[in-house]
Structure 1
Amino acid sequence: MTSATSTSVTTDGFVVVPRRHLGRWIGAAVVVVFLVWLGVSVSRAALDWGVVRSYLTFPVILTGLGIAIVLTIAAMVIGLLMGVVTAVMRMSKNPVTAGVAWLYVWVFRGTPVYLQLLIWFNLAIIFPVIGFPGLAPTRTIDLLTPFVAAAIGLGLNQGSYTSEVVRSGILSVDEGQTEAAQAIGMPRLMILRRIVLPQAMRVIIPPVGNEVIGMLKTTSLASAIGVSEILSQAQHIYFVNSRIMELLIVCAIWYLATVSVLSIGQFYLERHYAKGATSKALAPTPLQRLRAVFGTARSYR
């Protein structure tokens, strides 16, 4: 005879009691105590939150944020283009093409990005004039402004890492699909554009999304060559008013806000390219999760 209650079940003389998860509750209590302690400590710290609020929308800070975002976009465009081209070159059967691609990756991954920025910024020392076929020679110092030097330096460095991501994505696609496309007479570039890359994107998007977020934070290194991004602007301000922590918190807030927006974009891109590529259900969107939570709460009420 089996009887059941809301808390236990009796089966053949044995009482089955639901697991209490004591360790889980202890861990939650420790986390709550730590958060309370952290909140109290921050509230008692010698910080002027009024200064934080006043500088959060300060025009110079917003200008620096805009420069950081534009520099991130420019560097990632260069990095993605170089990454795709280099990945295809490295997979080429031509030893010269593959060797040049390998050399590019070796050089730009093997030296610090800070060093590369300094080299691009000071390139005018060894090449005072740059000439292109059909165009009049131009002074290097006029062509390589701090922003251009930063975009090129960050972009080429990023391209060396992105090439490995793209190459791994291409290798993840079944070779049988490429062979089938070749059998019906599709050219190599069309196969890459219409068949291989769309399927490789589900492998490429997650690490590239992380690299975009990392690039936004790496733009702070551009201040070393005179680019006035948000952190550089904040430093210029706190050198005058000595509100160091307040200005750094302002930068942290804007970095977190921008990264949050980028993370949302990455989520929806991953969701888009995951369609039809897996047997698992697509991950719920943040809006769907909120609806599920509040819907459950309403059903309980």
Structure 2
Amino acid sequence: MFKRMFPLVLLVLAGCAAKPEFQRASLLDTQHQRTGVFFTIETQPLIASPWDIRYQALQLDSDPNLINYLGLFEQEVNKLPSALLHLSGLATVAFVRKLAVGAQPRAAVPDYIHEVLYYDVDAPGDAYLRHVVHHEFYHMLEQQLYGSAYYKDPKWHSLNPADFTYGKGGASARDSSVSVFSHPHPGFVNGYAMSGLEEDKAEIWAIIWAEKSWLKVAPLVESDPILQQKIRLLTAQIECLAPELAMAWPAYIQNYLAAGAVCAHVDSINVSVAPTETTQSAVGNQRAGE
């Protein structure tokens, strides 16, 4: 599961989703030349286990939502060093329609078994789509770094208020209001971040890279020392493993980066509170994509 390739394969799928066999689509040669990314059309149905991932096919040459998503996806991924993409283990990105896990609609789904990220091109709003690109990517990165996308990071947990307990995970936070940047509690940008430690980290990662998301939360970060500490810890944790990030962080978060050696900063975090949440199953706790 950990052998990866680059560049990414951006895949338009037909049917439902295991390891696919790919066929290069000549219609996409121009886009491939422009981006350096391989685009292919899946010719056989896929079965992704243990997730019941469902979706509909796209018609690439006539689908404006797909073309729009491909463009913004390219812009967002180009912010990340190639070394970080390798580190994430991500192999394939699939753009689909009517994405769901079972009967539950999703804007995006990470498949940790096959290292595939699924994105629904009909999810509304470019700013939201850019946020989701980075949120889902972080889930894949966390899986690769810690062996589980639901890792209960004790250093992260120790930054939260002593009386705080996370919810039951992203799959249980279905109301669209939870994704609004509302600062519902010290240390959290929205209700979705409060649903699970893994969602909290993914939301912080997304606001770091998705500029419009950052602009909405910047006043919250400026007034909340816990959010500042979380940004500092997360950036230090990942840069410690991918030093190339030192030159890639957006200018607008520079004031919240670790002042010294990033690995030393991570080591300096004292674990004063142990995680108490019950780890949810990968099937039940997958990102719903609100």
Q: How would you bin the TM-score normalised by the shorter chain? A: under 0.3
Structure with bigger gyration radius? 1
Could you say which structure has the higher strand fraction? Answer: 2
Could you say which structure has the higher helix fraction? Answer: 1
Q: TM-score, normalised by structure 1?
A: 0.24
Q: TM-score, normalised by structure 2?
A: 0.25
